[in-house]
Amino acid sequence: MALSALLATFLCTIVLPSVMFLVAVRLWEVYMIRSRDPNCPRPLPPGSMGLPFIGETLQLVLQRRKFLRIKRQRYGYIYRTHLFGNPTVRVTGAENVRQILLGEHKLVSVQWPASVRAILGSDTLSNVHGAQHKTKKRAILRAFSREALEFYIPIIQEDVRAAVKEWLLKDSCVLVYVEMKRLMFRVAMRILLGFEPEQIETDEQQLLESFEEMIKNLFSLPIDVPFSGLYRGLKARNFIHSKIEENIKKKMQDLDEESKHRDALQQLIDSSRKNGEPFSMQAIKESATELLFGGHETTASTATSLIMFLGLNPEAVARVRQEIKDTGTDLQSLNMESLERLKYTSCVIKETLRINPPVPGGFRVALKTFELNGYQIPKGWNVIYSICDTHDVAEIFPNKEDFQPERFMTKPPADSRFQYIPFGGGSRMCVGKEFAMVLLKIFLVEVISKCHWTLLNGPPTMKTGPTVYPVDKLPTKFTSYAQN
């Protein structure tokens, strides 16, 4: 009798719930597969849809690149999954990515996950479409013109030099990733949003902490309840908005003053006035927050990777130093012309972006059902094109695991356009591409001309969340380099 009661308890508490869970997962899979377009003869891509409603979001958030690598190895270059509340197809490989990036407005349209749209806002460059996108893009591009970049150089130099001086004075190690985020945040606040140095000094720590909290919860389940990721992200975003609004109001008071330079935020305000649009404080705040994300988070990631790869490849450091010397670069007054002469230095940055692109991919939504490499992509499904995986499988890069900047010294084949896409491609290519390259080149020139450094933990483990970063924050010891 006792045995039968024990067996019944086991069945009710362990077996039955397990069976019901497996049935629910199977029914979820069947339900999602049935969302395919019956009018298209092509099958859905291979893959799995994960848990009911949650899908495979938790696995992605927890495992990041490991999750993506396992998926690609199991299912190939195109596979289906369920992420951030939506059925999703992930796409890898130059030819597949080409169709997605060039299919903007015809096959696909940009659509980031609901949590990203909620936190960054619907009026950002990455979320608007059509004429609105073109107008906003034109306004921001004016802030990244050659003339504007020339104006930024001494400001960038000033901030980088101050940071390098601090690192050299530290007896203990420098957590490079932490310091890069602080440095690049300061540069972005000054150059992109026009904050004065004294304004940044007052609010820097609180702003940086809020920004970190916002970014940490950018990709989260779209559930806005107390203590959820989205809730915390929105709360942090609101504080950032309050500080940006103060700066916008100050700029509005100074609108009639003549200025030689208009930062990106000022360009957006000017554009709104010239087009006769009603001024929207919320839209400008959202655009400013997006500029901070694009101009700080991604460059901090890449600058950290530069220190890592160069710390592991001292011969590349020596070659950059020699190039600076051979080109007669005046370290006291860098300009666009002198930076453009540093060809190998540019290659170091490009190789770093190849191995560790800061943003792993981009989000789109299918406007209609279409075919891609023998599979159907149903209308309404999300499409993620992968930057990091596409670089991993690119045929034009032999010895992919090796850090070889010289591979970029020769012009790539004409048909290799979408094998290297660190800044995306098509009409949605990153508008700050040239600004990022100038900023990173100045950073390299300053660091390499003044420092030796040693990675105290050796090669780190890299994670993505949402940009690529070292788990150990890259503890490094900087010492002074005596120039000959």
pLDDT along the chain (484 residues), means of 10: 62 58 53 71 90 78 78 92 89 95 91 86 79 81 87 93 94 92 91 80 83 86 84 92 86 64 74 70 84 86 97 96 93 92 97 94 93 95 93 92 94 84 89 93 96 93 86 95 66
Which pLDDT does position 32 carry in this prediction?
57
Token pair recorded at residue 49:
């849809």
How many CA within 13 A on the CB side of residue 356?
Answer: 27
Question: What is the C-alpha separation between 465 and 214, in angstroms, rounded?
Answer: 12
What's CA 54's distance to the chain center, in Å?
A: 24
Which pLDDT does position 484 carry in this prediction?
46
- For residue 323, give the 3-state DSSP assignment: helix
Report CA torsion sign: 222, 226, 232, 238: positive
- Residue appearing with tokens 């149903």: 378
pTM across the whole model:
0.87
Task: Give the Å distances, CA to CA, from 232 to 92, 181, 225, 237.
Answer: 32, 20, 9, 9
CATH class of domain segment(s) 56-480: mainly alpha
Q: Using alpha carbons only, what angle is made at residue 96 by residues 350 and 116, rounded to the nearest 5 degrees?
A: 70
Closest CA to 388 of 359, 409, 414: 359
Please tell me the total number of residues recorded for the chain in this structure: 484
Which pLDDT does position 262 carry in this prediction?
66
